[in-house]
């Protein structure tokens, strides 16, 4: 089978160094090598979210487990939270909260936008919340929320939980400085590791809240059961996926070797290059301009291009993109550009996009996409 370039909004392409780490023989989950790697991964994860104090957790599971654990460990049944929702994953937070008897209010934006800080200010001045929860980048809509501005509005009053699944490691998230109490994330997007790990970083305040709550309706999901293992990974609570942890450790090394500022800048340049290319082809975005996320683009189909056929033809030319989720299904495709995606992979994807559109008899100026992307990536590289 010929390998295809995975440009869905996660999992993102896995770098050969990470694949190599994943493929090493499975070792004991308490072997000294894995203990050291886990310690390194936890320390690196805290660096990525600019957290000096607080606790990091790396647990087998996915982003949804991290969402559930973030809520369960900081909010009790009967307490009230405010969910700031740009769409699909805010709605998921609401459903999770309801499963555990948490009272939820939701402040929603239209899809393609994010809730505005002034709306948040108004709402938090009227209600008292045990936590405010926001998605950083909604993977269905491509919208990035102004989370730093949100945090300023309630940083001393309530716990702020940030869903960074489609942002952490690709877009800046400064936990201590901004006053974020919980960042939840997953391995498979901006870290570029394979799926399989739920990631959480909790501030000291969030940890104190957990400790003050007494028993919670979870066992695997109770961070207090995991805390001793995170402090000393030679201890046992539940068998960790050692191969995946080695892969993730390598992924965090790649992130830090690149340098966080450079990595965030690269994500922003790549997004800009892809968008300039899409626009040169006459394609337009679903997401409204001020909310565009650096990690994915949600692209509207022009008239006459049919979703499934387009994605099949694109895949036949070596590139996999995702269809729309929820209310956008059939009307957009979603292209991820996060993690360790390289300039040559971006060029390959744009050439394949042009070839796909040509095969579907869509009219555009041939070569326009590549030329537009190069004008961004190569002129900036020279500076
Ligand atoms: N939050 C966001 C913003 C996401 O993009 C996703 C996954 N696409 C999730 C949560 C859930 O993560 P997972 O699919 O790993 O459970």
User: HSE of 128 in the Cβ direction (CA atoms, 13 Å)?
Assistant: 2
C-beta of 186 in contact with ligand 1 (< 6 A): yes
Dist. CA 305–CA 358, nearest whole Å? 11
- Beta-strand (E) ranges in the chain? 5-6, 55-60, 80-85, 103-108, 131-135, 137-138, 143-144, 159-163, 182-186, 197-202, 296-300, 319-320, 322-323, 332-336
Q: How far apart are CA 301 and CA 304, in angstroms?
A: 8
Ligand 1 pocket residue status of 165, Cβ below 6 Å: yes
Nearest-CA residue for ligand 1 atom 4 is 165
- Any atom of ligand 1 within 6 Å of the Cβ of 90: no
Q: Whose CA is nearest to atom 13 of ligand 1?
A: 63
What integer pLDDT is reported at residue 380 of this predicted model? 53
Residues 16-38 have a mean pLDDT of 96
* 112 C-beta neighbours (distance < 10 Å), count: 22
Q: Which atom of ligand 1 is nearest to the CA of 65?
A: 16
Q: What's the pTM value of the predicted model, to 2 decimals?
A: 0.97
Taking alpha carbons only, the member of 69, 37, 67, 55 closest to residue 245 is 37
Q: Domains along the chain?
A: 5-9+259-382 (3.90.1150.10), 16-258 (3.40.640.10)
For 331-381, write each residue's pLDDT tens digit. 999 999 999 999 999 999 999 999 999 999 999 999 999 999 999 999 855
Residue for token pair 């996320």: 293
pLDDT in tens, 130-186: 999 999 999 999 999 999 999 999 988 999 999 999 999 999 999 999 999 999 999
Q: State the pLDDT at residue 81.
A: 98
Instruction: State how far the Cα of 68 lies from the Cα of 310, in Å rounded to an integer.
Output: 35
Q: How far apart are CA 240 and CA 29, in angstroms?
A: 6
State whether the beta carbon of 60 lies less than 6 angstroms from ligand 1: no
> In this prediction, what percent of the chain has a pLDDT beyond 70?
98
Atom of ligand 1 at shortest distance to CA of 67? Answer: 10
């Amino acid at each position: 089978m010929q390998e295809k370039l995975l440009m869905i909004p996660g999992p993102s392409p896995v770098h050969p160094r990470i694949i190599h780490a994943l493929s090493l023989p499975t070792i004991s989950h308490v072997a000294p090598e894995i203990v050291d790697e886990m310690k390194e991964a936890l320390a690196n994860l805290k660096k990525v979210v600019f957290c000096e104090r607080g606790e990091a957790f790396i647990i087998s599971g996915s982003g949804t487990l991290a969402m559930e654990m973030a809520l369960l460990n900081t909010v009790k049944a009967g307490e009230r939270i405010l969910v700031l929702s740009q769409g699909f994953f805010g709605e998921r937070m609401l459903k999770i909260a309801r499963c555990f008897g948490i009272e939820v209010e939701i402040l929603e934006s239209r899809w393609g936008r994010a809730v505005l800080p002034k709306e948040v200010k108004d709402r938090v001045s009227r209600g008292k919340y045990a936590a405010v929860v926001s998605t950083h980048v909604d993977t269905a809509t491509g919208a990035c929320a102004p989370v730093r501005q949100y945090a300023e509005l309630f940083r001393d009053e309530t716990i702020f939980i940030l869903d960074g699944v489609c942002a952490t490691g690709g877009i800046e998230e400064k936990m201590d400085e901004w006053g974020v109490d919980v960042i939840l994330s997953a391995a498979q997007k901006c870290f570029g590791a394979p799926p399989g790990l739920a990631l959480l970083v909790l501030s000291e305040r969030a940890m104190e809240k957990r400790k003050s709550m007494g028993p919670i309706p979870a066992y695997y999901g109770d961070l207090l059961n995991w805390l001793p293992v995170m402090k000393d990974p030679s201890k046992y609570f539940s068998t960790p996926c050692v191969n995946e942890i080695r892969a993730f450790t390598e992924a965090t090394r790649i992130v830090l070797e690149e340098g966080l500022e450079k990595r965030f800048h690269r994500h922003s340049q790549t997004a800009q290059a892809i968008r300039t290319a899409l626009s040169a082809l006459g394609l337009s975005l679903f997401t409204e301009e001020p909310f565009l996320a650096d990690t994915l683009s949600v692209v509207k189909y022009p008239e006459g291009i049919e979703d499934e056929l387009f994605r099949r033809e694109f895949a036949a030319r070596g590139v996999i993109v995702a269809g729309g989720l929820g209310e956008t299904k059939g009307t957009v495709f979603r292209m991820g550009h996060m993690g360790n995606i390289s300039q040559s992979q971006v060029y390959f994807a744009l050439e394949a996009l042009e070839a796909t559109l040509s095969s579907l008899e869509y009219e555009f100026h041939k070569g326009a996409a590549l030329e537009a992307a190069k004008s961004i990536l190569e002129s900036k590289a020279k500076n």
